[in-house]
Amino acid sequence: MKYMSEYRDPDLAKKYLEEIKNTVSRPWSIMEVCGGQTHSLVKNGIIEMLPDSVTMIHGPGCPVCVTPLNLIDKAIYLAEEKDVILCSFGDMLRVPGSQKSLLEAKAQGADVRILYSPLEAVKIAEDNPDKEVVFFAVGFETTAPANALSVVHAHRRGVKNYSILASHVLVPPAIKAVIDDEESKIDGFLAAGHVCTIMGNTEYHPLSAEYKVPIVVTGFEPLDVLQGILMVIRQLEQSKSIVENQYARIVREDGNPDAQKVIDEVFEVRNQMWRGIGEIPDSGYAVREKYADFDATKKYNVTIEEAPENPDCISGQIMKGIKKPFECSQFGKTCKPTNPLGAPMVSSEGACAAYYHFSGLVEA
């Protein structure tokens, strides 16, 4: 496919690896923020091919992984007890709640549906006027415009039986939290290309300047990731710390202003709980009061008791880059994609799932 397959050229990948080896003079730790990049690194064997002095640290960029357990329990409650049609992206339905996952609730008779787009959920609501439809709207800035757009569509078309259960997380406050964490030592960042497609690069300049870290906005194909790593290392070796854009074929400096407008129409920034990490100030979106009728948390004033996390799961340390998946005593033993103890083993962007499927550490 154009603009994808040509960024997988193995010969040029070798040249990039060679240049990285020639450029590095001492050890560096680089965090790729986005789970999509983690998968590209592990799946394509890039981690093993990098010089030993370059350590890739996997970041918290998996929205499914950081969606609070309590919210998953709420979604399951809505599907089972409130007789709603509960829709979300496939990954979200597989994540275990405290008792079960949404897919298990579906198997037990709840009307739970996997959708490709939140816009489809509005159509389902229109087609089922006697039922309530809730879209479990998770995601980073990349997905926020589509989720917001579904609310705008429903509002415009007078669809009253549609609402979203929003759990939105934002990247820049998470990068700040990761740098501020005393245990983490990260020299440079690959920022998430698709998040910046929406928001642009401007939020990253003050971060890079304040913390003196290189931040390179990076794509997802092997050549993108390798170029991003090389750009970070070149900055580090030259004692520079600026924001660069490796993914300029997609990302504009000011992002997509039309998408930002839709986000701002429907959402406002709030403090957000990140599963495994804790609350991060100003790191999420709440539905604005104007659209309260489309906010499932207000429509169904449900309180569910906080359930404890599985004590054997170290997902918080994994997502802050403090530990690697294979350093967890449960990895590949009690915790597998078919029987996950935590979300990073479930999601297609979770670091544990990436290592389980592609690292060769676990025999299939």
Confirm or reject binding of residue 26 to other proteins (CB under 8 A).
Answer: no
Confirm or reject binding of residue 250 to other proteins (CB under 8 A).
Answer: yes
Helical residues (DSSP H) of the chain, grouped into ranges: 10-23, 35-43, 46-49, 63-66, 69-81, 90-94, 102-107, 118-127, 144-156, 171-180, 193-199, 204-211, 222-237, 257-266, 296-299, 315-319, 351-358
Give the separation between CA 292 and CA 155, rounded to whole angstroms: 11
Q: Helix or strand or coil: residue 28?
A: strand
Confirm or reject binding of residue 203 to other proteins (CB under 8 A).
Answer: no
Give the separation between CA 202 and CA 153, rounded to whole angstroms: 29
- Stretch of 33-41, 267-275, 289-297, 329-337 contacting other proteins, by CB under 8 A: 33-41
Question: What's the closest the beta carbon of residue 2 comes to other proteins, in angstroms?
Answer: 7
Confirm or reject binding of residue 214 to other proteins (CB under 8 A).
Answer: no
User: Measured in whole angstroms, how far is the alpha carbon of residue 75 from the centre of its chain?
Assistant: 19
Confirm or reject binding of residue 136 to other proteins (CB under 8 A).
Answer: no
Beta carbon nearer to other proteins, 3 or 326: 3
Question: What's the closest the beta carbon of residue 94 comes to other proteins, in angstroms?
Answer: 12
Confirm or reject binding of residue 89 to other proteins (CB under 8 A).
Answer: yes
Terminal CA-to-CA distance of the chain, rounded, Å? 29
Confirm or reject binding of residue 63 to other proteins (CB under 8 A).
Answer: yes
Q: Around Cβ 130, how many Cβ atoms within 10 Å? A: 5
Give the separation between CA 268 and CA 288, rounded to whole angstroms: 6
Contacts 24+ apart (CB under 8 A), 14-21: 16/223, 16/226, 16/227, 16/230, 17/49, 17/50, 17/226, 19/230, 20/50, 20/51, 20/54, 20/226, 20/229, 20/230, 20/233, 21/51
- Stretch of 222-230, 299-307, 313-321, 333-341 contacting other proteins, by CB under 8 A: 222-230
- Stretch of 12-20, 70-78, 285-293, 295-303 contacting other proteins, by CB under 8 A: 12-20
- By CB under 8 A, the count of residues binding other proteins is 58
Confirm or reject binding of residue 188 to other proteins (CB under 8 A).
Answer: no
Of 1, 26, 130, 239, the one binding other proteins (CB under 8 A) is 1
DSSP letters spanning 131-146: S-EEEEEEE-TTTHHH
Residues 140-159 close enough to bind other proteins by CB under 8 A = 140, 142-143, 145-146, 149, 153, 156-157
Phi, psi of 25 (to 5 degrees): -115, -15
Nearest to 263 by CA among 168, 155, 166, 144: 144
Confirm or reject binding of residue 252 to other proteins (CB under 8 A).
Answer: yes
Beta carbon nearer to other proteins, 80 or 230: 230
Confirm or reject binding of residue 19 to other proteins (CB under 8 A).
Answer: yes
Structure token digits, residue 31: 């965090």
Residues 314-353 close enough to bind other proteins by CB under 8 A = 347-349
Confirm or reject binding of residue 197 to other proteins (CB under 8 A).
Answer: yes
Confirm or reject binding of residue 173 to other proteins (CB under 8 A).
Answer: no
Confirm or reject binding of residue 205 to other proteins (CB under 8 A).
Answer: no
Which of 160-185 are b and which e, b meaning 16 or more Cβ less than 10 Å from the residue's Cβ? ebbbbbbbbbbbbbbbbbbbeeeebe
Beta carbon nearer to other proteins, 186 or 199: 199
- Stretch of 57-65, 78-86, 158-166, 332-340 contacting other proteins, by CB under 8 A: 57-65
Confirm or reject binding of residue 283 to other proteins (CB under 8 A).
Answer: no
Please give the residue ranges that form the binding site for other proteins (CB under 8 A). 1-4, 6-7, 12, 15-16, 19, 34-36, 61-64, 89, 91, 116-120, 138-140, 142-143, 145-146, 149, 153, 156-157, 192, 194-195, 197-198, 223-224, 227, 230, 234, 246, 248-252, 256, 258-259, 262, 347-349
